[in-house]
A and B are shown apart, each in its own frame.
Chain A
Amino acid sequence: MFLRLVADSFTRRPKRKLLTLAALALGMAVATAALSVSLDVGDRLAQEFRSLGANLLVTPEADSLPLEIGGVDYRPANAGAYLPEADLGKLKTIFWRHNIVGFAPILEAPAIFVKGGLGGGPPEPPAELQSAIHGEKITLIGTWVHHVVQIPDGTVYTTGVESTNPWWRIEGRWFAERANEVVIGNNLAKRVGLGVGSEIVLGMDSPGFDTPWPVKVVGILSSGAAEDNAIVAPLDVTQSLAGKPGQYRRLYVSALTKPEDAFGRRDPKSMTQEEFDRWYCSPYISSIALQISQELKGTDVRVIRRVAEGEGTILIRVRMLLWLVTFAALLAAALAVGASAAASVIERRTEIGLMKALGAGSALVGVLLAAEQLLVAFVGGGIGYAVGIVLARLMGQKIFGFTPEPKLFLLFVVLVLASLITLLGSAYPLRRASQYDPAPILRGE
């Protein structure tokens, strides 16, 4: 009989129930869409922030002080310490290895070059090259582009300067590894009149250099910084030119991190073992820095503060903003659904009066109406979830070009939410209704 009463109230007046259902479904669709975007967007935004480039810088620990102005190191080539390139695979063995999205070693060397090739003859230094005065003095930057790194666990990982300096634009193409190809900065190219396809001869800007190196220009680089006046070459070529085989001087690492909170900013030395473990196992920039310095011996890993901190504050703010919007959406949905539920109880006073006149107790009437509302909540919540997921996909694709995975636990959250809201919305009118005195109602008063 109970079930029949519930079922009847649906089949007899489908339009009314449909409206309540629509309000609920819409409310829950907002909730689902907002929740699933909020849940996914943090990771997504963190990835977007990698367009700022590297956030960690690795340098030799026992280095002499670099004399760097505007991105150019004025130290002589033989000064300062170097790091072994062979160790770099270890970067992908740290605890947060999957958060390392790219790295590139840099070896800079002062060099000179002259235009023109060596011709077909034997590699003999052209006359101009013999006197450094006639050659253009430039900085030669050796680095990786699409370099395949051997990871100690047997796998390989491809990375390079494009992931640590994503704002670098190349006209033409990047050089190939081990090839005698270079990319030159756009200012330099303009100044000396070089273009893609030109041939130049490189040499070291040090007394008695005797290894002229004919190379081909395959691309023009624009970086908006010091590299615009430099020549970028494969790391291995630079190493052999500079006489530093297998070595580099600086390493840029781009890592996905969790914005630093008060805990992340604490000094790990002052932590208890338990706190330290929690800190070590959180992808804070500082804990990733520590893990890198543990793997790469003899290095000093520094956090590039402007990138790391700018990223942190903005990420936290945007995330809070999104949660706020989500919360606002939930609130609006709750109030509208509550109003709808309340209205549907208010209008059923006659029905309630009749039931009570026929001998139903206040509790039974309450349970009956609540069961009805719950049924509506479940159906409405389910529909809302489905609509919300579609909406979230559309939003995700529009903004980030990704589709958030539908999360099943959200369905659960939404259903619980829908039930709570409808029950809360109808609680007061239900209580009133169950206290009605049947006689005046039936008389129509």
Chain B
Amino acid sequence: MSDSPMFWRIVRRLITANYGRLFVILLALGAGAAITSALLNLQIDAKRRLTTEFRALGANVIVTPRDANANSSGGTLDQSLLTGLSAENSGKPVPAVAFLYVIGAVAKAGEIHHQPAVIAGTAGQGLTQVRPGRRTEYSADLESDPAACEVGAKAAAQFKVRAGDSLNLRNQGREATCKVFAVVATGGAEDTQIFTKLATAQTLANLPGRISLVQLSVTGTPDAINRFISALSQRLPTADVHGIKQLAEAEGKLYNRISGLLSITVIIVLLLTSLCVMAGMSNVAIERKNDVGLMKAIGGSVRRVVRLFLAEAILMGIVGGLIGSAFGIVGSIWLGKAVFGVAARPRWIVYPVSVGITILVSIASAFPLRRLASVRPASVFRGEA
């Protein structure tokens, strides 16, 4: 185009002629872009985070012997299963704890009268994740003791033990002692149990190398958890791998509700924000009537005038979008920290998307200028509205 330098010169002048207006336009577009990128980033991150938060509910997958239920007294699994199971889910180790349950006789060390109680031997990583509760007493020093054990709140009250006390455990002539390092309240059956090292329970039960079940806490969307379960049950043909229905159902329902709520809110907010920015911008654009009138008076064709303003709008959109989206992504990292305590991971796809949306909004805002094509220079100069 022969008059290209002139075209850009006019565009430059259009933009820089009035700094007040430039500021207003950039502010509106930038704010829109910032909110678009922040919400999009936060929304993607929040859904992922949500699945992590659900793990506050504890174990959601359980591995039991295939025929354990047919005959409630028998049925154990081999302990080697736990090491073979050290599964990973999206790069992160899955908390998995093996349990062996024995009904034994228990008494505080030094007392004669023993009472029956459930002794649960545990091995594996993440006992507190698969069995969420509150430790009313806890001593980190004692935890490293090879004979350390944790006592449920009800059991602790029954045997009158506190952290630091010792318990005497008995089963069919076999005997063991353990040192209490924590008292835990879960509100469930665990409150009445005594958690020892797996080896202790195996000795008491005379079942070396056996476990009753494995509990896992698998993070992910309901679909991802189901995929994990079916993958695991293929790897463990001897065992029955299933999700805990109580959690699976509620989690699925809640996840869908909450993520639906977030998506819909974000979409509506984004849509209305765009419309709002558009309306504001159009208001700014209409003001250019005089410019259009002048350009037409000195011989500018309608197409070229519209092209001029379109170029201006795209430039504004790019600048406003680039600046605003950058602010938005930085903001969402900080917001993620405020909501979930963990900084939101910035997703770079959000940046071009939000810049693109901003450019579109900016172009759409220039739309009223098309109507200015019908502006008659004479009436503008006469000062008629």
Contact = CB atoms under 8 A, between A and B. Distances in A.
B243 to A, nearest CB: 7
Interface residues of B, number: 86
B275 A399 contact: no
- Give the interface centre of A30, A49, A338 by most chain B CB atoms within 10 Å: A30
Contacts of B192: 65-68
Interface in A12-66: 12-13, 15-16, 19-20, 22-23, 26-27, 29-30, 33-34, 37, 41, 45, 48-49, 51-53, 56-57, 64-66
A439 to B, nearest CB: 17
Contacts of A53: 246, 250
B144 interface: no
Interface string B262-299: 10111011001101110111111011000000000000
B145 interface: no
Given A224-B244, A314-B54, A328-B269, A64 B283 contact: no
B191 interface: yes
A328 B40 CA distance: 12
Contact of A51 (B56, B249, B275, B284): B249
A70 to B, nearest CB: 8
Contact of B21 (A15, A331, A343, A432): A343
Nearest to B328: A328
A364 interface: no
A29 B222 CA distance: 34
A78 to B, nearest CB: 14
Given A305-B132, A328-B35, A395-B264, A336 B53 contact: no
B20 interface: yes
A317 interface: yes
Interface stretch (B115-123, B202-210, B303-311): B115-123
A342 B132 CA distance: 55
B176 interface: no
Nearest to A55: B187
B28 A306 contact: no
Nearest to A51: B250
Contacts of A12: 385
B132 A310 contact: yes
Could you tell me the dominant secondary structure of chain A's interface residues?
A: helix
Contacts of B18: 346
A317 B69 contact: no
A23 B276 contact: yes
A428 B58 CA distance: 56
A329 B273 contact: yes
Contact of A317 (B245, B275, B340): B340
Interface in B126-182: 132-134, 153-155, 158
Interface string A337-366: 111101110110000000000000000000
A187 interface: yes
A399 B253 CA distance: 11
A23 B132 CA distance: 50
Contact of A343 (B154, B249, B258, B280): B280
A313 interface: yes
B118 A335 contact: no
B154 A65 contact: yes
A441 to B, nearest CB: 13
B279 to A, nearest CB: 3
A396 to B, nearest CB: 10
A64 B103 contact: no
Given A52-B57, A65-B154, A335-B27, A41 B261 contact: yes
B334 to A, nearest CB: 11
A45 B258 contact: yes
Contacts of B277: 332, 336, 339
Contacts of A395: 261, 264-265, 268
Interface string B339-368: 110000000000000000000000000000
Interface string A297-314: 000101111111110011
A37 B116 contact: no
Contact of B187 (A22, A306, A336): A306
Interface in A390-424: 391, 395, 398-400
Interface stretch (A155-163, A209-217, A318-326): A318-326
B268 A391 contact: yes
A338 B192 CA distance: 63
B275 A26 contact: yes
Contacts of B237: none
A122 interface: no
A30 B282 contact: no
Nearest to A63: B154
Contacts of B53: 310, 313-314, 317
B246 A23 contact: no
A310 B56 contact: yes
Contacts of B117: 65, 67
A329 B250 contact: no
A187 B68 CA distance: 11
A19 B339 contact: no
A306 B265 contact: no
B247 interface: yes
Contacts of B300: none
- Give the interface centre of A64, A317, A331 by most chain B CB atoms within 10 Å: A317
A75 B189 CA distance: 13
B9 to A, nearest CB: 22
B245 A331 contact: no
Contacts of A30: 268-269, 272-273, 276
Interface in B26-60: 27-28, 31-32, 35, 38-39, 42, 46, 49-50, 53-54, 56-58
B370 interface: no
B103 A67 contact: yes
B195 interface: no
A150 interface: no
Contacts of B385: 12-13
Nearest to B53: A314
Nearest to A332: B273
- Give the interface centre of A67, A229, A305 by most chain B CB atoms within 10 Å: A305
A429 interface: yes
Interface in B181-219: 185-189, 191-193, 212-213
A344 to B, nearest CB: 6
B355 to A, nearest CB: 16
B70 to A, nearest CB: 6
A306 B280 contact: no
B42 A340 contact: no
A179 interface: no
A257 interface: no
A305 B273 contact: no
26 contacts: A19-B282, A37-B261, A45-B254, A49-B250, A64-B115, A65-B154, A65-B192, A66-B192, A70-B101, A71-B189, A167-B249, A167-B250, A223-B245, A229-B72, A300-B154, A305-B185, A306-B58, A310-B56, A324-B338, A325-B262, A328-B35, A329-B269, A335-B28, A339-B280, A343-B283, A346-B24
Given A331-B35, A339-B27, 6 more contacts: A321-B262, A328-B38, A331-B31, A332-B35, A343-B284, A346-B24
Q: Which 10 A-B pairs have the closest CB atoms?
A: A224-B245, A23-B279, A304-B187, A340-B280, A335-B31, A339-B28, A310-B57, A310-B56, A336-B276, A332-B273
